[in-house]
Chains A and B, each alone.
Chain A
């Protein structure tokens, strides 16, 4: 009799890669023909490129130490595309640097809540029973509060710092992923190939991660994309309220807040960060919506 202990990591990784590959191939094959996916993807690529290249772009310093009186509240011009703020800082430069903060916070928070949500949701949905009861109860508890209020409470309680903002967003957001994953796992675990792999000697952890999870990837990808948009909104709102990213680190939410008193005098101070914020969120939402259409047959009944 052959007894084996533990999961073989290499094999697991190989199988997982296969499942991910299949889903990605499908997205690329069908996504190319979906205009929402193309537009959303293009916007995201541009934003990510700007964020990554920010230190090397020929721009003014977003956080100069000294205030130059002559540069205060200049309207948009060839030398300052988006104008300058009340401290004489270049708004364009600050918007681009703000992209870094927003994207980092949002993606880290989504990846974190995705991991927590997937593991808890998968466990709950796959095992059911008492495990499901406890995890579902916890999910519902978090789900009861509006995500933003929860994030606000945690951000305020944890104190303002970038890491705490990420934590606050993750805490308020993981329940959605967990719920989605649980529902998916509930349907997939009833399918015969799960029974078949059990009859062929696979253990629970293997079935969960190599058979159930890869079959749920499509809706997770859609949710993650829309989730990034939500996380950006939450991050900006927190910064707007002063419990998010702290000055002098440039952040869209805080720039909006600073722009309010100058709305009549210098409308560019709030308008440009707001527009970029809007376009970025639009990009992720378009991608998510488009992917939902592309992957739809699997979201409903899973494929035959």
Chain B
């Protein structure tokens, strides 16, 4: 189903570890993810499961003392893990961009919006002519549907509302028409009333620029609305990957069941939402089997000792769980 499309980014066996004094934390443990051109993929999972770390690893901005210890990240055929720092800087912002959670802290408070946009555009496009630069800045601001781009250009971040700031961030990230946009919880810090607005804008703008988006969120509603495919992460691993509709109708991994059950549905009467018992395992302790085994109702003996392989149950629907193993009970 997806084989005819061109992959933008192919992650294979990515492992990112943090070397602390107390021990080694394996934040990402063999992440596999392929994202194709012009689609948007959601990465869902609870706090600390490695969603953001996947994005930082793609940009090679894993904070100290962490580093990528294994695996490959191929971006349009270029192996990102082997690039020099300087080559990597050329990719950040112009080819792969990122939007952060909190727009109010992601903009430099002492510069006008225009000068911040100008910096990114001139840096990556070698444009230093003021008139040309201004035209480009106005175009980008129009793209994110800012009504009065000329006056916003002259304003400082603190003079804008949260929604406006996030639009500016989107403009900043998309100003050089990157092939891949990493959106790390882009609506979490926003007012509920403008979340949908910003999401729609993001979806439209990404499409109009011809970009591909990886949307990181813990909100399944956001995913349902925005993404073509979903990838569920748990304890640094991808446990399930499927087209959005299929995942919501037929989730395969027990963790995905739990996530969906914990999410309220329209028109359903529930006194209390269900929770997934237990907590995320300590990533400092290495484990051989499935990381979800302690919290899983269907845990088998194999789950404790054998790492579940990635199985394509249906075309395009992958799951890492022993339940679907040819020999397992399904």
Using known A-B contacts A199-B59, A199-B92, determine if residue A18 contacts B106 with beta carbons closer than 8 Å. Answer: no
Q: Which residue of A lies closest to B95 (CB)?
A: A1
Q: Which residue of B lies closest to A188 (CB)?
A: B108
Chain A hits for B111, CB < 8 A: 15, 18-19, 22, 214
Alpha-carbon separation in the docked complex, A201 to B126 (Å) = 13
Alpha-carbon separation in the docked complex, A2 to B86 (Å) = 10
- Flag B248-285 by CB within 8 Å of A: 1 or 0 each: 00000000000000000000000000000000000000
Name which of A3-11, A252-260, A275-283, A284-292 contacts chain B.
Answer: A3-11
A196 touches B89 (CB 8 A): no
Alpha-carbon separation in the docked complex, A23 to B109 (Å) = 11
User: On chain B, which size bracket covers the interface?
Assistant: 35 or more
Alpha-carbon separation in the docked complex, A195 to B99 (Å) = 10
Using known A-B contacts A11-B122, A22-B111, determine if residue A3 contacts B90 with beta carbons closer than 8 Å. Answer: yes
Which residues B121-144 have CB closer than 8 A to chain A?
A: 122-126, 128
Greatest chain A CB density within 10 A among B64, B108, B109, B128 is at B108
Partner of A192, one of B59, B78, B106, B115: B106
Partner of B124, one of A201, A206, A211: A201
Chain B hits for A203, CB < 8 A: 86, 89
- Flag A196-218 by CB within 8 Å of B: 1 or 0 each: 11111111001000110011010
A2 touches B92 (CB 8 A): no
Greatest chain B CB density within 10 A among A23, A129, A198 is at A198
B97 touches A4 (CB 8 A): no
Partner of B109, one of A10, A210, A215: A215
Q: Which residue of B lies closest to A192 (CB)?
A: B105
Chain A hits for B100, CB < 8 A: 192, 195-196, 199
Is B120 an interface position by the 8 A CB rule? yes
Q: B1: shortest Cβ distance to chain A, in Å?
A: 31
Alpha-carbon separation in the docked complex, A154 to B151 (Å) = 55
A3 touches B128 (CB 8 A): no
Greatest chain B CB density within 10 A among A2, A3, A22, A200 is at A200
Q: A32: shortest Cβ distance to chain B, in Å?
A: 20
Q: A207: shortest Cβ distance to chain B, in Å?
A: 10
Is B94 an interface position by the 8 A CB rule? yes
Total count of chain A residues near the partner, CB < 8 A: 36
Is B246 an interface position by the 8 A CB rule? no
- Flag A7-29 by CB within 8 Å of B: 1 or 0 each: 01011001100110011000000
Using known A-B contacts A11-B128, A201-B124, A304-B158, determine if residue A22 contacts B90 with beta carbons closer than 8 Å. Answer: no
Alpha-carbon separation in the docked complex, A28 to B158 (Å) = 19
Is B232 an interface position by the 8 A CB rule? no
B89 touches A19 (CB 8 A): no
A201 touches B91 (CB 8 A): yes
Q: B32: shortest Cβ distance to chain A, in Å?
A: 23
A4 touches B92 (CB 8 A): no
- Flag B71-111 by CB within 8 Å of A: 1 or 0 each: 00000001000000011011111110110101011111111
Chain A hits for B20, CB < 8 A: none
A304 touches B90 (CB 8 A): no
Alpha-carbon separation in the docked complex, A215 to B104 (Å) = 15
A10 touches B128 (CB 8 A): yes
Chain A hits for B89, CB < 8 A: 201-203
A2 touches B105 (CB 8 A): no
B123 touches A18 (CB 8 A): no
A201 touches B93 (CB 8 A): yes
Chain A hits for B124, CB < 8 A: 2, 201
Is A191 an interface position by the 8 A CB rule? yes
Alpha-carbon separation in the docked complex, A160 to B216 (Å) = 66
Using known A-B contacts A2-B124, A200-B120, determine if residue A22 contacts B156 with beta carbons closer than 8 Å. Answer: yes
Chain A hits for B123, CB < 8 A: 4, 8, 11, 201-202, 206
Alpha-carbon separation in the docked complex, A196 to B59 (Å) = 11
Q: A14: shortest Cβ distance to chain B, in Å?
A: 8
A201 touches B156 (CB 8 A): no
A4 touches B110 (CB 8 A): no
Chain B hits for A81, CB < 8 A: none
Alpha-carbon separation in the docked complex, A121 to B228 (Å) = 48
Q: B97: shortest Cβ distance to chain A, in Å?
A: 6
Q: A99: shortest Cβ distance to chain B, in Å?
A: 35
Q: Which residue of B lies closest to A23 (CB)?
A: B110
Is B173 an interface position by the 8 A CB rule? yes
Greatest chain A CB density within 10 A among B59, B61, B92, B119 is at B119
Alpha-carbon separation in the docked complex, A199 to B106 (Å) = 11
Using known A-B contacts A193-B106, A201-B94, A211-B108, determine if residue A3 contacts B173 with beta carbons closer than 8 Å. Answer: no
Is B172 an interface position by the 8 A CB rule? yes
Which residues of B are at the interface with A, using a C-beta cutoff of 8 A? 59, 61, 64, 78, 86-87, 89-95, 97-98, 100, 102, 104-112, 115, 119-120, 122-126, 128, 156, 158, 169, 172-173
Q: Other than A1-B91, A5-B86, A22-B111, give 9 A-B pairs with Cβ distance below 8 A.
A: A8-B122, A11-B119, A18-B115, A22-B110, A196-B172, A198-B61, A201-B92, A201-B94, A217-B110
11 pairs from A and B in contact (CB 8 Å cutoff)? A4-B90, A4-B123, A5-B86, A22-B110, A192-B100, A193-B105, A193-B107, A201-B90, A201-B92, A201-B124, A217-B110
Which residues of A are at the interface with B, using a C-beta cutoff of 8 A? 1-5, 8, 10-11, 14-15, 18-19, 22-23, 129, 191-193, 195-203, 206, 210-211, 214-215, 217, 302-304
